[in-house]
Each structure stands twice: as C-alpha cells, then as structure tokens.
Structure 1
C-alpha cells in the first residue's frame, strides 16, 4: 500500500515540528556534551521531514510515519542504554551528571564479573531456564504441529488460550504458586523454580512454534516422502533446512524470556543460593561486594546475549514476532 501525498506531508510537518522543538529545548536547557545528542536527534527529524516532502508524490511505498516511529523508538531505547552505560562506567564515588560519559572506569564491570552472589544467581537463571525450555519445547512442537497440520476440533480456541496465557500477569499467579511450593516443602529450592517457569516457557514456545510450522513448505515434505525417502533422508532434506532454523531461534527466545523472569524468582526464592539473576539485581543489591554501579554493569552484561541474538537472527526474529496464527 502506497501512502498518500497528504499523509506524507502531514508526517513531514510533524517531523519538522518535533525536530524544531527538540533543537530549541536542547539549545536553551541542555548543556554540553548532551547538547549534541539533542541537536543530532533534531537534525535526523528535520532530514526526515525533508525526505517526506521530496518523496511526497512518488509511488514508492515509503511511510514517513514509520520512519518517525523508528526514530522515536531508537531514541527512547538507546538514550536509556547510554545513561546505563554512563552510570556503570562512572569512577567509584562519583555520580554522573550528563548522559554522555565523561570519564570511563571499568571497575564496576570487574566487580560484577567477580561477585560470587551474581555468579551464583546467573547459574541459577541459566539452569532453571534451560530445564524449563528443554521441557517446554518438545511439548510446544507437538502442540503446534497439531494446531497447524491436524484437523483438531476447536484448535483456534486452543490457540487463543495459549495466547491468553501469555497475557496473564505473573503477579496474579505468584501467590498461588508460592502456596503450592510451600505445601510441597520445596520453598527456597533452586529446582522449585522450574515447574513455575513453564508458565512462561510453554505458552511462549507454543505461540512461536505455531508461527514456525505454519510457514514450513509442507508440500515439499509430501514430495520427499512420495519419492521413497527414508526417515533420515526426510530429516536431512526437509526438516533440517526448513524446520530446525526456526525452532532453534524460537528455543533461544524462550530461553531468554525464562532467564529474564523476575516475579517468580523473587516470590519463590528465599536466599542468594536459590534466587535467579534478575531478582538478585533487584532485591540483593545491598549485599554486593562492590558499589551499586556493579548492579548496573551486571545488567548490561546480562543484556549482551540478547543483543547478539538480535544481531545474528534479525530477520528470523522479525518473522516470528511479527506474525500471528491464521
């Protein structure tokens, strides 16, 4: 769908007004070096406005509104990350006063890497998330195959229930789950976090696997089987190139989501030995051997695998998260 000329002109006007407002606010209220961040963002918005005017009457499917949305999303994402990096790299005993880092010290990262509390918490998160993902993925693949390929009655309703489970707030489930764990006398155990973690991993894995299996060229499988291929040949020529890449990325996303759970970890863990990493950062910061900037540095280090996943599989992740079951 090609945007209309009026839509592009409206978007261009909005981009110019935003850029003008950002530039003036930066000049009046913001000091250097943060001033250059404001001016740089203002220039980008004004260039977007100029591009919208230049391409207003073309037939190219260029949406200026989408460009503005991407720019605003990038600004509201990268600026907090930059501030986090500035806090983490500030010299010990100092508080940063600008978003742009002035002096860089890596002591906080060294303290985070050598903190025994954070190391134990990271191990707990990886172990719990790994087990929960390993249990959820085979069940999710089987459920997704039934929803996509088999004439299951009320399969849309079943799929809707999986999606609804993703939207249930974990805070509403933390209390009942904690009561059950206490009744089983497993409260405070590291492995007690695994069954509740399935509340996160199983619905998410099913939702992602439905998307993966829906896009698979199943006619190719029928052709391979009609040619008399063995199970191994069918796996190598059909499943390996068409199914496994999507399943691998879905597994990585489920694992990351389980690793980043805070609610269940905080509700079911009583001490540092059983508390996962996100809950440790939020609840046990006063027990760290280093300053509180180590918490910020640890959060940035915990973010690295997610960034690498986004950089290595951007297209596959977009396909998984940008589509729904039909």
Structure 2
C-alpha cells in the first residue's frame, strides 16, 4: 500500500466514532427541541426548533454514512454547527438590540420593529468618530513599525541556523500570550513620567506589545511555507537581484505579508486594555465604549451598532482572503 493510500485510509473516521458523534448530535437536537417547545415562546421558538432540526438531521446523516469510506468526520460537522450557533445567534441579538426603537426594550431574538437611528447616531457622533480614528491611527502606525521588524526577525528564525533561535521564538510566543493587564501599570507609570498621559501617540509604543509578537508569529508561518528551493534555482540560473525580487520574492511573499499586515491591523484595533489605561481623552474606540458605557445616549443600541459596524472590516478580510487566513491560523492535513 502506497504512502498516499495509507494516509487517506488514516483520514477515514471509524464507524464507532461516527455513531458516537451521530448519537450525541441527535440527543442534543432532541433536547434543544424539547426545551424550545416547553420553555421558549414565539418567535424565538422557531430559532430553537431550527437548531434542533439541524442537529437531528446531522445525527441521522451520520448514521446513514457511518459505514462508508468517505473521509467525513461528523465530530467536525457537529463542532462547526455548534460554532455557527454560538456565533450567529449573538450577532442576531446584537442586530436586534441595535435596531430596536429607543422607547422599547428588546425581549426576543427577532426584532419586532426595526429602526436604523442607532447607526445614524453612531456615524454622526464626533466622539465615536474621533475614537475610531484614534484606533485606526494607533494600530496603523504600530503595524507599519511592526511588520518590517517582524520580516527580518522571521527570516532569521526560519532561515538562519543559529543557536538559541528556538529560545527566541519561545520568548516571542510568551510575549504574545502575556496578559496586557499585567503590563498596564508599569507602562502607565512610564507614560506619566514622560508627561504624555492622555496623548494619542503615547498608545503607539504600547500597541507594539500586541502587533510585534503577533507579526513575528504569523510571518514565521509565511516564511516556513515559502518555496525556498525555487528561489535558490532562480539565483542559480543567473538571475540578477532585481529579477530575483520580481520573479520570486514578490509572488512568494507579497500576498502573505499583505494578509499578515491586515490581520495585525485588525487585531490592534480591538485593544481596549491599553487604551483604557493610558488615555482618557483620546482613547481608542473599544476603550471609549468601555469608559463611556453609561454616558452614551441610548447606550445599549449605540454600543450594539458600533459593534456591528466595527465588525465589517474583519468580516470583509475573512471573505476576501479565507484561504490565506486558514494557512496562517490553521493547519491543513491534506
């Protein structure tokens, strides 16, 4: 048996595994259906019944395809369905809160009356526009500083055979995983000592704590997946440095570096810990919403509207470059 055939056989889940996944999916759907019928009133009841039908159909399909050679894992299908439920239902609730008239209170997942006044208030608010501009500027500058530095660091970690590079990479991961709350006190003391507390630009050095380790971590994946043998062949064929850059470097690295830059920018825009700790007047948007939670008019609807508008950029990035993002954040076993 060839190596490829053996790998394909190993990818086919066992009958027992499929039956367990099917049984759990069916029982979970049955429980959701009963809870929805007995405890949930309309129109939300239809949401519960829809989720229950989906889970029960998955269980039935798992039983039908249990004894086949198709490499379909119903544990993965069940996991995706649960993930979608826990992602889409909160988004639906956020949309309902954002579009509910100010004189009413949202009580169900489906909006009874839809009004777009909260979105108009958000787009017309000088305070929120200034906070969004602060987030974009701080994250943009930090990203522009981090990515070039990360390119050199990632190249060295992947291509340069030096002692201690695993330790360096472990330190990068440790910096990426370090809770920012533990660093806000010392950073705030330094900002106050330099008399820059409250300044928009004081947030940029602190934002590097997020953007630089993340850039290195993502770009290491880009450099590991690069076809370096092709680059060596181009140089061996007598290509000049300019031809090497045009024919190898740009096609091999530019798409990945662009996606990394956009991902780092989006992640940097989501910070609220450093923004709330280092600025009170020109705070980024997430920190502004955190600190002004009780001061905003129609607070719940406004915050929900801001959240939906703020989610447009990462959603567009996910739709435009899903394969690149999967390669950076996931792992393919095929």
- Settle same-fold status: TM greater than 0.5: yes
Deviations 1:103-159 (Å, cap 9, x if unpaired)? Answer: 110000000000000000011000000000000001101000001011121111111
Equivalent position to 1:294, from 284, 296, 302: 302
Q: Is the contact between residue 128 and residue 191 of structure 1 (CA under 8 Å) also seen in structure 2?
A: yes
TM-fit CA distance, 1:288: 3.4
Q: CA RMSD in A?
A: 1.2
List aligned pairs for 1:79-228, cutoff 5 A: 79-228=89-238
Q: Which runs of 4+ in 1 moved over 2 A?
A: 285-292
Instruction: Check if 1:264 corresponds to 2:274.
Output: yes
TM-fit CA distance, 1:298: 1.0
- Residue number in structure 2 paired with 1:68: 78
Instruction: Check if 1:311 corresponds to 2:286.
Output: no
TM-fit CA distance, 1:232: 2.4
- Residue number in structure 2 paired with 1:279: 287
Q: Is the contact between residue 249 and residue 313 of structure 1 (CA under 8 Å) also seen in structure 2?
A: yes
- Residue number in structure 2 paired with 1:38: 48
Q: Is the contact between residue 166 and residue 204 of structure 1 (CA under 8 Å) also seen in structure 2?
A: yes
TM-score after normalising by structure 2: 0.94
Q: Is the contact between residue 117 and residue 288 of structure 1 (CA under 8 Å) also seen in structure 2?
A: no
**Count of residue pairs brought into register by the alignment:** 322
Q: Is the contact between residue 146 and residue 215 of structure 2 (CA under 8 Å) also seen in structure 1?
A: yes
- For structure 2, the residue ranges without an aligned partner over 5 or more in a row are 1-10
Judging changes above 3 Å, is the alpha-carbon distance between structure 1 residues 222 and 143 closer, same or farther for their aligned structure 2 residues? same
Q: Distance in 2 between matches of 1:236 and 1:72?
A: 45
TM-fit CA distance, 1:289: 5.4
Q: Is the contact between residue 100 and residue 114 of structure 2 (CA under 8 Å) also seen in structure 1?
A: yes
Which stretch has the larger CA shift, 29-38 or 110-119?
Answer: 29-38
Equivalent position to 1:49, from 39, 59, 63: 59
Judging changes above 3 Å, is the alpha-carbon distance between structure 1 residues 323 and 8 closer, same or farther for their aligned structure 2 residues? closer
Judging changes above 3 Å, is the alpha-carbon distance between structure 1 residues 239 and 111 closer, same or farther for their aligned structure 2 residues? same
Q: Distance in 2 between matches of 1:30 and 1:93?
A: 24
TM-fit CA distance, 1:42: 0.6
- For structure 1, the residue ranges without an aligned partner over 5 or more in a row are none
Q: Distance in 2 between matches of 1:201 and 1:323?
A: 22
TM-fit CA distance, 1:230: 2.2
- Residue number in structure 2 paired with 1:322: 330
TM-score after normalising by structure 1: 0.96
Deviations 1:276-324 (Å, cap 9, x if unpaired)? Answer: 0100111113443555411210111011001011111111101101149
Deviations 1:189-216 (Å, cap 9, x if unpaired)? Answer: 1100000100000000000000001000
